[in-house]
Amino acid sequence: MSKRFARALCWIRRDLRLTDNAALALATSEADQVAVVFVFDTVILGALEDGDDRRLTFIHRSLRELDEKLRERGSKLVVLHGDPIEEIPKLACRLDAEAVYAGRDYDPYAVYRDDAVKGQCRLVTIKDIVIFEGGEILGQLETPYRTYTPYARAWRNRLRIGKDDAEHGSDLAALWPGENLEGELPSLAELGFAESDLWLDAGEEAARKRLAQFSKRIPRYATERDFPSHEATSWLSVHLRFGTIGIRACIREALAHGEDGDKWLSELIWRDFYQDILANHPHVVQEPFQAQYKSLDYPGSEDELQRWCEGKTGFPLVDAAMRCFNATGWMHNRLRMLVASFLTKDLLVDYRKGEAYFARHLLDFELASNNGGWQWAASVGCDAQPYFRIFNPVLQSRKFDPKGDFIRRWLPELADLKGDAIHWPHEESEFDLLAAGVDLGRTYPRPIVDHATQRDLAIKLLESAAKGRGKGV
């Protein structure tokens, strides 16, 4: 059977890999020659601050590896810098490419961008970053699910093992010869950005190794995943975000472990669920999923927000989590829930401010998951934590960092505190504090708020809004 097109482009965006790449597989099955292209989008880059963003370093290193892999096969990566709405159609015209293939992206900007490109050339998009798209998993009345548990049940029932999670193989013999292609990978400096230090290796090979390493830990994932000092999580969120590994590979690995892999599978389904929510309810980007909270007025101050950002609240596990985040761009999921709860329920700061801070600094930032997680913690989203359930930062610390290992790593000024004092040094004797080199108010801040008082205020605020009594307390 002859191929449909003589020449085509494969436009990679959130799928920075050659293996199990749905767009590349489709392109090479339908075109005789396929050039792989990436665009450094000036619309996105222009919104970044200070010429410093860890994500650019991760992307650049992943592209460098991808280019090397393509050159080994006689091709090369075509790299453009500009607005893809203009650059992709121009490249297709210049190379006489009859079609452009890409993995579908569901973020509002991506949808707008792709619609604009489709108006100028043949853009074929294919599902790749999720197992099921918005609209594929529906309830009995053919309406989208609003809560996770029935969605997950339907997701599992719909999954056709060996088909939905099948690997997409590409005909790499169809890659366009490199000598006929222009567009070299620029340096980060040429793009106006500085090289950042990363806590993990970038690229497809690094992602494969990390999955192989995690495979050995999957049997203890369910029991140890909530402990930030344990090496129990996958650490694959960044690779999934940029597609140096595909969701199908992760699903296959989870399923291969049977019951041991079930908890990780549940977490992967959450990712699809939040993408489903974004696709079916795009208003969540600007406002709460639950309409009764749209006019909620948060009384928290900018000063309190800033102290939260800097990890200077006087609550050790919250501060340790934020300092780890600021240093690495990554945060353990249990800690994401804790710091979000603290900002919205203890400091009474609008969840959108915390969401924006994470969006700016998260190495694994993904709009749907970040938005969904913040609305969940703030009790204003779909299937959110009930407003009367509020994390106690000290109890969370004692339960999930019992020896204080994580706190000591990120708050060295408290490292010499003994036993339970690491979780709440504010009730220790002055003698014990001085013996540990801790001077409250100077070397470590006093608590910014009283948790019990703020908990009561948060409940009243949310309860009032939930019952439609204006803006709260």
Tell whether 406 and 354 lie within a shared domain: yes
CA separation for the pair 317, 321 (Å, rounded): 6
| Kind and range of the H or E run holding 305 | helix 302-310
Does 182 reside within a domain? no
| Kind and range of the H or E run holding 35 | strand 31-41
Per-residue pLDDT, 1: 55
Tell whether 220 and 320 lie within a shared domain: no
Return the CA Rg of the chain: 24
| CATH number, position 234 | 1.25.40.80
Structural domain tally of the chain? 3
Tell whether 1 and 119 lie within a shared domain: yes
Tell whether 366 and 245 lie within a shared domain: no
CA separation for the pair 187, 193 (Å, rounded): 9
Does 183 reside within a domain? no
Tell whether 379 and 312 lie within a shared domain: yes
CA separation for the pair 176, 162 (Å, rounded): 31
Tell whether 256 and 299 lie within a shared domain: no
pTM summary value: 0.95
Does 187 reside within a domain? no
Tell whether 120 and 139 lie within a shared domain: no
Does 215 reside within a domain? yes
Does 174 reside within a domain? no
Tell whether 84 and 147 lie within a shared domain: no
| Owning domain of residue 58 | 1-128
Tell whether 299 and 446 lie within a shared domain: yes
Does 189 reside within a domain? no
* Confidence check: pLDDT of 472 > 80: no
Tell whether 54 and 151 lie within a shared domain: no
Tell whether 400 and 259 lie within a shared domain: no
Per-residue pLDDT, 317: 98
User: If DSSP codes are grouped into helix, strand and coil, which group holds residue 125?
Assistant: strand
Residues sharing a CB contact under 8 Å with residue 1, sequence separation 6 or more, in sequence order: none
Query: Which tens digit of pLDDT belongs to each residue from 190-211?
Result: 999 999 999 999 999 999 999 9
Query: Which tens digit of pLDDT belongs to each residue from 362-383?
Result: 999 999 999 999 999 999 998 8
Contact between residue 214 and residue 234 where contact means Cβ atoms under 8 Å apart? yes
Does 89 reside within a domain? yes
Tell whether 56 and 32 lie within a shared domain: yes
Q: Above pLDDT 70, what percent of the chain? A: 98
